[in-house]
């Protein structure tokens, strides 16, 4: 590959009309540092932010940070001057657009000095995150930082060399306080219940373990607005690279595939200012909770249920799974009868229309969202996505059969073997513990359920001791032991 054929800023002028969001690009300075520079951020917040600057100006360019120690993503993106393309795949075709708002990419721990130089700069007024649930180093029982987490323990002993999210944020905020620089706003964009409040609790509890005065300052001065984010963004494939090459005539090594749909609901609490996201489709609200719960329980819960049932039943992608009529019927009924009744939403939010839109999005044949990707990190995803709804329905004395099938499918998935005998890897921060529990339980549904209900990182004592839940899970596992597809067909016929 020669330099002339690679996507870079010098080549932007050669692009056809419509391949960038607007020709009059202001070359803004960095105003946002984003931790967790994955595909989702690049197809979501980065796009909204570029559109907002085109609409209303402002220095809100982004520095993205990878926290995994791998410099490959940093080096590839920076070899393209931070540019990449968004490959939007819909039922009617493919749209490819170059995004320019990413100005710098750093890799921890290699670029620690530069990262903290930026985080100390008053021009950086927002630090946003997409680090997934496990990146918060959160004790699920208390909601505080997990002091037993190896990374947290290291950071507390070495506060000048932090590597975890709470360690980085507290060190940076402490430096700004000491320099009399106003704090940045901390903006979580992860699928975590009450993500802003949850991150605030993690950060403040970490700070208390380090410096109680600093913790009090953070609690008093730093804003942690909650958000709800939505866009289906699969992993990048060679087909996406080929699509970018075909559309641009330039080689992009890191294009981002995504669906046309996107949504962003944000609590409007930004003392240091923000981009004009509301001018380009984001919803700025006082309370994000109703939208967050609708998304977590309707989309994320059914996505996880689809993923685990599909991994067992032999469906590779979400569109393939939802094309199986009994699966579509099951998910439709799960949303209609077990999830939607637990939601309290604004009058303008039509839950059943949202259900229908989700089913249509799942069926998008162009997206090819891999079930194995969604099945990752179940120990972190199952509690907010499924167990909250289960708890609500149990408290009301209502049925949970379909929800229990989703949780039971996760239990059986942890055996690591699909119904056809093919093996797959369990990718989860608790993988060793979970697989040990499952293997020790054998094939007995009751033994498996009892073993998993004993996992306190996932199930509270109150929920684990609920006999109605236990019986529903035993029934689900018993059906799944006969085969996922037959279990799906049986559940799809439930009234």
Kindly report the backbone phi and psi dihedral angles of residue 69, in degrees, each rounded to the nearest multiple of 5, phi listed first.
85, -5
Q: What is the mean pLDDT of residues 473-487?
A: 98
Peptide bond into 283 cis (omega under 30): no
Terminal Cα-to-Cα distance of the chain (whole angstroms): 59
What digits encode the pLDDT tens for the residues 230-275?
A: 999 999 999 999 999 999 999 999 999 999 999 999 999 999 999 9
Region 400-410: what's the mean pLDDT?
98
Distance from C-alpha of 385 to C-alpha of 300, rounded to nearest angstrom: 6
What residues does 267 pair with on adjacent strands? 285
> What is the 8-class DSSP label of residue 390?
H
Q: Judge if 3-285 and 289-492 fold alike in CATH terms.
A: no
- Token pair for 371: 């079930």
The closest alpha carbon to 367, from 253, 485, 231, belongs to 231
Furthest CA-CA distance within the chain: 66
- Checking if the pLDDT of 2 tops 80, the result is no
- Sequence-distant contacts of 140-143: CB under 8 A, at least 24 apart: 140/383, 140/457, 140/458, 141/456, 141/457, 141/460, 143/198, 143/201, 143/202
- Calculated CA dihedral for residues 462, 463, 465, 470, nearest 10 degrees: 170
Share of the chain above pLDDT 90, in %: 93
Segment 288-331, tens digit of pLDDT? 999 999 999 999 999 999 999 999 999 999 999 999 999 999 99
Task: Give the Cα-Cα-Cα angle 404, 491, 319 (nearest 5 degrees).
Answer: 90
Do strands 227-230 and 263-267 pair parallel, antiparallel, or not at all (unpaired)? antiparallel
pLDDT of 26? 86
Say if residue 409's pLDDT is above 80: yes
Does residue 167 carry a pLDDT above 50? yes
Percent of the chain whose predicted confidence (pLDDT) is above 70 = 99
Q: Average pLDDT over the chain, rounded to whole?
A: 96
Length of the chain in terms of residues written: 495
Could you tell me the pTM of the whole model?
A: 0.88
What is the band of 141 on the pLDDT scale with cuts at 50, 70, 90? confident
pLDDT band at 192 (very low <50, low <70, confident <90, very high): confident
Cα(97)–Cα(95) distance, integer angstroms: 7
Nearby residues of 77 by Cβ (< 8 Å), 6 or more positions away: 37, 64, 83, 84, 102, 105, 254
| Predicted local distance difference test score (pLDDT) of residue 348 | 87
Predicted confidence at residue 4, as pLDDT, reads 55
In this prediction, residue 308 carries a pLDDT of: 98
Band of the pLDDT at 418, cuts 50, 70, 90? very high
Q: Does domain 289-492 have CATH number 3.30.420.40?
A: no
Q: Which residue, 81, 99, 76, 92, is CA-closest to 15?
A: 99
Contacts of 294 (CB under 8 A, 6+ apart): 343, 345, 349, 351, 354
Give the pLDDT band (50/70/90) at residue 1. very low
Pairing of strands 84-90, 93-99: antiparallel
Instruction: Provide DSSP, 297-320.
Output: IIIIHHHHHHHHHHHHHT--BHHH
Per residue in 332-389, pLDDT (tens digit) is: 999 999 999 999 998 989 999 999 999 999 999 998 999 999 999 999 999 999 999 9
* pLDDT above 70 for 173: yes
Beta bridge partners of 34: 64, 128
Residues 6+ apart with CB under 8 A from 419: 312, 313, 314, 483, 484, 485
| Eight-class DSSP state of 282 | P
**Is 191's pLDDT higher than 50?**
yes
Could you state, in order of their start, the residue ranges of all structural domains in the chain? 3-285, 289-492
Query: pLDDT at position 495, please?
Result: 80
CATH architecture designation of domain 3-285: 3-Layer(aba) Sandwich (3.40)
| Per-residue model confidence as pLDDT tens digits over 104-138 | 999 999 999 999 999 999 999 999 999 999 999 99
> For the packed helices 467-481 and 388-396, what is the interaxial angle rounded to 10 degrees?
120
Instruction: Report residue 317 CA to chain centroid gap.
Output: 18
359 CB neighbour count, 10 Å cutoff: 15
CA 451/CA 415 separation, integer angstroms: 13
């Amino acid at each position: 590959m020669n330099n002339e054929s690679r996507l870079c800023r010098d080549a932007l002028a050669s692009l056809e009309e419509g391949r960038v969001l607007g020709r009059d690009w202001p070359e803004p300075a960095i105003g946002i540092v984003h931790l967790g520079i994955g595909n989702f951020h690049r197809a979501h917040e980065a796009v909204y932010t570029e559109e907002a600057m085109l609409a209303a100006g402002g220095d809100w360019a982004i520095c993205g940070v990878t926290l995994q120690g791998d410099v490959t993503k940093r080096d590839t993106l920076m070899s393209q001057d931070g540019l990449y393309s968004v490959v939007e795949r819909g039922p009617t075709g493919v749209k490819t657009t170059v995004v320019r708002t990413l100005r710098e990419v750093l890799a921890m721990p290699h670029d620690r000095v530069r990262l903290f130089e930026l985080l100390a700069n008053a021009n950086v007024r927002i630090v946003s995150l997409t680090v997934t649930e496990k990146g918060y180093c959160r004790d699920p029982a208390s909601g505080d930082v997990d002091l037993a987490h190896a990374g947290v323990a290291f950071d507390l002993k070495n506060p000048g060399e932090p590597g975890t999210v709470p360690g980085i944020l507290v060190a940076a905020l402490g430096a700004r306080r000491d320099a009399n620089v106003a704090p940045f706003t901390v903006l979580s964009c992860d699928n975590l219940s009450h993500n802003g409040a949850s991150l605030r609790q993690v950060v403040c509890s970490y700070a208390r373990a380090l410096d109680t005065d600093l913790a009090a300052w953070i609690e008093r001065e730093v804003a942690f607005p909650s958000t709800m984010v939505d866009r289906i963004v699969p992993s990048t494939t060679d087909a996406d690279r080929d699509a970018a090459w075909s559309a641009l005539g330039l080689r992009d090594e890191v294009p981002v595939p995504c669906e046309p749909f996107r949504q962003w609901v944000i609590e409007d609490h930004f003392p240091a200012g923000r981009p004009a996201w509301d001018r380009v489709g984001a919803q700025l609200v006082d309370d994000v909770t109703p939208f967050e719960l609708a998304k977590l329980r309707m989309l994320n819960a059914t996505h996880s249920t689809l993923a685990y049932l599909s991994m067992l039943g032999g469906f590779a992608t979400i569109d393939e799974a939802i094309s199986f009529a009994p699966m579509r019927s099951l998910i439709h009924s799960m949303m209609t009868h077990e999830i939607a009744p637990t939601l309290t939403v604004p009058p303008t939010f039509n839950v059943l229309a949202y259900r229908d839109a989700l089913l249509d999005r799942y069926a998008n044949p162009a997206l090819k969202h891999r079930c194995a990707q969604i099945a990752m990190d179940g120990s972190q995803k199952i509690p907010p996505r499924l167990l909250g709804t289960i708890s609500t329905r149990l408290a009301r004395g209502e049925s949970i059969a379909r929800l229990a099938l989703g949780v039971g499918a996760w239990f059986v998935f942890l055996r690591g073997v699909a119904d056809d005998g093919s093996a797959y890897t369990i990718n989860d921060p608790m993988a060793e513990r979970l697989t040990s529990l499952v293997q020790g339980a054998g094939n007995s549904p009751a033994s498996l359920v009892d073993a998993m209900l004993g996992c306190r990182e996932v199930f509270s004592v109150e929920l684990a001791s609920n006999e109605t839940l236990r019986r529903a899970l035993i029934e689900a596992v018993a059906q799944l032991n006969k085969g996922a597809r037959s279990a799906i067909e049986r559940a799809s016929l439930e009234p």
